[in-house]
Structure 1
Amino acid sequence: MSAAAGTFAAVFASLYVAHSVGDHWVQTSAQSAAKGRPGWVGRLADTRHVATLTLTKLVVLVPVGLLLGLHLSVWGLVAGLGVDAVTHWWADRRSTLAWLADLVGSGGFYRMGAPRPGHDDNPSLGTGAYVLDQSAHHLFLLVGALLIALV
């Protein structure tokens, strides 16, 4: 295995774990509830969420990099975490991901399991929107890990 492949594997694993922690433990209930709202209320809540999420990824990745002796460049970290942060913010605005799901013919899946408008009759994480949200984040974690490993 090449050094870049090993670095990529360690970076991706670190980002994946940090993503799960940052998206589910560090994100506040207020950020989660507001980040998809229209206007500046939603934009600012989403920005606060992505800031703490990105910080969580750094807090996990830097010690892993030091302990494993990974050669991570500042530019690679900026590029990889930057792409991840921008795409995470975009997807978490909710209307943007719903638009993409509709565009590719997955709008029905996106809305699967969602509460009916005006009702709270399915309070669960088991929705199509959640699955597509996490899948999009995982794709860009991969892109971010590649940038971090290769730049």
Structure 2
Amino acid sequence: MMQARTKQILALITAAVVVAAAGLAGVVAYLVGNAEERLPTITAFAKQETATVEPGFCDPMLRCAGLEVIELHVPEGYPLQLSLPEEVANSDWRLSVQIGIRETGQVFEGYHDYKPGEAYAVTVPGAEGEQLIGAIIQLPAQGGLAPVWAIQTVPLPGGGVVVPAS
């Protein structure tokens, strides 16, 4: 049988453990609640090659932080396929592309705005004599910065790279 003093000490130790556990749980909940939300990756496919594209952030002057432009080999005339996670596809987003014409050296830029849920995958078509130069996916800006995923396409060996006319 335990003495009264031993019971009191055990009760105090138990109370201290419960308070410490509750405090730790509170700190963890606070840190998780204030953790920066991580944006998902986008998957790009072109002629048997796959790349995972991480997001970065850009301001309206195109100054970017944490943006890593991914290089993916897309031969002249081949399409680029993009697979979008729900977090991107279920919001407003824009796809911008640059296409070069080998014969003339001209570069054309274009974009398409998508509404939430409109597309979870897109294909940028390719045509003979055309080289996809790059593709950018962008969400609306929040606090002056827009989430951006960037892909620089590079033709496979034997293909030419279109250089814009000076």
Q: Shorter-normalised TM-score: what interval?
A: under 0.3
Q: TM-score, normalised by structure 2?
A: 0.22
Please state which structure has a larger fraction of its residues in helix: 1
Please state which structure has a larger fraction of its residues in strand: 2
Look at both structures and tell me which one has the larger radius of gyration over its CA atoms. Answer: 2
Q: Which has the higher contact order (CA 8 A, sep 6+)?
A: 1
Q: TM-score, normalised by structure 1?
A: 0.23
